[in-house]
Amino acid sequence: GRCRLLCKPSALAQHLVRSLGQSAALRRGHWLWPHWPRLQVLQQLLQLPEPEPAVARELLQLPDTGLVALDWLVGPRGARSGSGGGAPSSVLLLIPNAAGKVTGGLLQLGLRALERGFIPVIFNRRGHNGCPLTTPRLQPFGDPGDLQEAVTYLRCRHPTASLLAVSEGSGSGLLLAYLGESGSSSRLAAAACISPIFRGRDWFEAGMPWLYEWPLLLHLKRGLSRYAGSLAEAVDVDRLLGSRSLRELEEALFCRTKSRPTSWEAYWERNEPLRDADEAAVPVLCLCSADDPVRGPPARSLPLELFRSSPYFFLLLTPRGGHCGFPRRGPGRCWGHEAVLEYFRAMAEFLRAEERRKGLPRPR
């Protein structure tokens, strides 16, 4: 009742309004700590899911011999899980924030998806979350090259399943850049962004609440310190590990390099998440809160005109929910997860109806 869906009028938009309007998650939303969104941020970063999921890791080698890691969620730790019979499940690609921090919220979303028949898999960038760094290069904020390789691999491994993607926080910059750059060749059926960062440069320059920035900064430094020797040939490691903000660390990694230094302005010309947004051809639900202390005030951080003009972008805006929090009492503590999974269900229902209406064969 307190959520608004901002989008360009279309048949799909009408279908989503009906489906989300009937969602029990949105109708029964109860916000904990409604006036303390920063505490919601801290809880979201530190709290682990119950039960903790079991993960099977797979390393994917890239054309330049770099590695990314795919973590397949196979069920709660200590429990046996299996997929039911019938039609192939949808593969749900989970993209953590730009620091590579796999939060309890992201794992909880994966477990909820697993219970509903999805095949959830977490995408870990080079050097993130224990993924070995085999080249002195990490993935820039909005460079979708490695993600494209992972999507191609998932399509080959599960050729008959629908491929979906959901990102969390600053990780949405990568997903949005991928959707814009790949256009109609993205291989995705639908995507969702939870508390996305739309304007990367503005976000880094504005700074973030220290409750959010310092845990992520320490998380990044701890991971990068393992590869200080190999990174030394590409960047100034002392400057990197001495960074006092995420902006300083981003500049040390990608702008002040030893081989190809570049300016902060030129870096963002190539890495802004929405630089090719007009080319996106996949429905994207962006779940945002007006009191998000990390993204910033809605007036300057939400690209409202994009949602009014593009038939593929949908903004589900709620007055409260913090950053990737959207808490409620009882089981399934994040009602935002339920909204995202309901969105994917509604999208599949709409596409099936369109195929029947047009008499189109299902893609092989």
| Candidate from 78-87, 209-218, 246-255, 345-354 with smallest mean pLDDT | 78-87
pLDDT at 293 over 80: yes
**Tell me, what's the pLDDT at 133?**
93
Question: Strand order in 190-194's β-sheet?
Answer: 4-6, 313-318, 284-289, 190-194, 163-168, 91-95, 119-124, 67-76, 53-61
pLDDT at 159 over 50: yes
How much is the average pLDDT of 337-356?
91
On the 0-12 / 13-18 / 19+ scale of CB atoms within 10 A, 145 is middle
Peptide bond into 140 cis (omega under 30): no
**Tell me, what's the pLDDT at 81?**
42
Q: Facing residues of 191 across strands? A: 165, 284
Mean pLDDT score of the chain: 88
**Tell me, what's the pLDDT at 212?**
82
Alpha carbon distance 284, 316 (integer Å): 11
**Tell me, what's the pLDDT at 342?**
94
For the question of residue 292 being annotated catalytic, the response is: yes
How much is the average pLDDT of 111-127?
95
| Candidate from 5-19, 141-155, 208-222 with smallest mean pLDDT | 208-222
How much is the average pLDDT of 129-152?
95
Tokens of 332: 């399934």
Residue 339's identity, in one-letter code, is: A
**Tell me, what's the pLDDT at 364?**
53
Question: Which one is catalytic: 143, 146, 291, 292?
Answer: 292
**Tell me, what's the pLDDT at 280?**
97
Which one of 197-211, 268-282, 321-335 scores highest in mean pLDDT? 268-282
* Residue with more model confidence, 33 or 331: 331
pLDDT band at 338 (very low <50, low <70, confident <90, very high): very high
For the question of residue 128 being annotated catalytic, the response is: no
**Tell me, what's the pLDDT at 83?**
41
pLDDT band at 39 (very low <50, low <70, confident <90, very high): low
**Tell me, what's the pLDDT at 37?**
56
Question: Which one is catalytic: 71, 128, 323, 337?
Answer: 323
How much is the average pLDDT of 207-215?
84
**Tell me, what's the pLDDT at 210?**
82
pLDDT band at 321 (very low <50, low <70, confident <90, very high): confident
Alpha carbon distance 236, 247 (integer Å): 15
